[in-house]
Structure 1
Amino acid sequence: MGCESKLWLVFLLMSGVTIVVGEPQVPCLFIFGDSLSDSGNNNKLSTDCKANYFPYGIDFPDGPTGRYTNGLTIADFITQLLGFDHLIPPYANYGGYDIKEGVNYASGSAGIRYDTGKHLGDNVELEKQLQNHKVIISEITKQVGGRVENVEERLKKCLYYVNVGSNDFINNYFLPQHYRSSEKYSPEEFGAELVKQYSQHLKALHQLGASKFVLVGLHLLGCIPHEIITHGKNHSLCATEVNNASRMFNNKLEALSQQLNKQFSHSNFIYVNTPLMASHIPQLNHPRGNQIVTCCEVGSNGQCKEEHEPCRDRSLHAFFDDFHPTEIVNRFFARYSYHSPSKSYTLPMDISQLVRL
Structure 2
Amino acid sequence: MARDIASTFIFLVLHVLLSSFFPCMCYSRVIEKHGGEIKGMFVFGSSLVDNGNNNFLQNLAKADYLPYGIDFPYGPSGRFTNGKNVIDLIGEKLKLPLIPAFADPSTKGSKIVHGVNYASGASGILDDTGLIAGHVMSLNKQIRNFEEVTLPELGAQMGYNGTRELVGNYLFVVGSGGNDYSFNYFLRQTNYNNVSLQVFTANLTNSLSSKLKKLYRLGGRKFVLMAVNPIGCSPVVVASRPTRNGCNQGLNLAAHLFNAHLRSLVGVIKQQMPGSSLVFVNSYKIIRDIIRNPVPRGFKDTSNPCCEVPSLSEGGNGILCRKGGQACEDRNLHVFFDGLHPTEAVNVQIANKAYNSNLQNEVYPISIKQLADL
Q: TM-score, normalised by structure 2?
A: 0.84
Distance 2:98 2:263 in 1: 28
1:283 is displaced (CA, Å) by 9.0
Letter in 2 for 1:26: I
Letter in 1 for 2:183: N
2:108 corresponds to: 95
2:261 corresponds to: 252
2:142 corresponds to: 129
Distance 1:64 1:333 in 2: 22
Distance 1:172 1:337 in 2: 28
| Matched residues, number | 330
2:306 corresponds to: 295
The answer on 1:333 being equivalent to 2:350 is yes
The counterpart of 2:158, out of the listed 125, 138, 144, is 144
1:230 is displaced (CA, Å) by 2.8
Q: Which secondary structure does the structure 2 equivalent of 1:127 belong to?
A: helix
Letter in 1 for 2:141: K
The counterpart of 2:133, out of the listed 120, 141, 163, is 120
1:225 corresponds to: 235
Distance 1:276 1:303 in 2: 24
Instruction: Write the deviation string for residues 149-193 of structure 1: whole angstroms up to 9, x where unpaired.
Output: 2x33331111111110010011111213xx644324211111111
1:354 corresponds to: 371
2:16 corresponds to: none
1:220 is displaced (CA, Å) by 1.6
Identity fraction in percent: 38
Shift in alpha-carbon separation, 1:238–1:289, aligned structure 2, 3 A: farther
The structure with more radius of gyration: 2
Shift in alpha-carbon separation, 1:30–1:39, aligned structure 2, 3 A: same
Letter in 2 for 1:101: H
2:43 corresponds to: 31
1:290 is displaced (CA, Å) by 1.6
The counterpart of 1:54, out of the listed 66, 89, 106, is 66
1:284 is displaced (CA, Å) by 7.1
259-268 or 202-211: bigger deviation: 259-268
> Is the CA contact 2:155–2:166 (under 8 Å) kept in the aligned structure 1?
no
The counterpart of 1:305, out of the listed 315, 322, 330, is 322
Shift in alpha-carbon separation, 1:121–1:100, aligned structure 2, 3 A: same
What 5-or-longer segments of structure 2 have no aligned partner? 1-33, 311-315
Q: Which secondary structure does the structure 1 equivalent of 2:357 belong to?
A: coil
Letter in 2 for 1:311: C
> Is the CA contact 2:109–2:153 (under 8 Å) kept in the aligned structure 1?
no
Letter in 2 for 1:319: F
Letter in 1 for 2:309: V
1:115-194 equivalent positions in 2, closer than 5 A: 115-134=128-147, 135-145=149-159, 147-149=160-162, 151-176=163-188, 180-194=190-204
Shift in alpha-carbon separation, 1:285–1:173, aligned structure 2, 3 A: farther
1:223 is displaced (CA, Å) by 1.0
1:27 is displaced (CA, Å) by 1.1
Shift in alpha-carbon separation, 1:211–1:24, aligned structure 2, 3 A: closer
2:211 corresponds to: 201
> Is the CA contact 2:37–2:169 (under 8 Å) kept in the aligned structure 1?
no
Distance 1:215 1:104 in 2: 15
2:278 corresponds to: 269
1:326 is displaced (CA, Å) by 0.3
1:272 is displaced (CA, Å) by 1.3
1:324 corresponds to: 341
What 5-or-longer segments of structure 1 have no aligned partner? 1-21
Taking only aligned residues, the RMSD between alpha carbons, in angstroms, comes to: 2.1
1:52-91 equivalent positions in 2, closer than 5 A: 52-84=64-96, 86-91=97-102
Distance 1:24 1:39 in 2: 25
Shift in alpha-carbon separation, 1:23–1:204, aligned structure 2, 3 A: closer
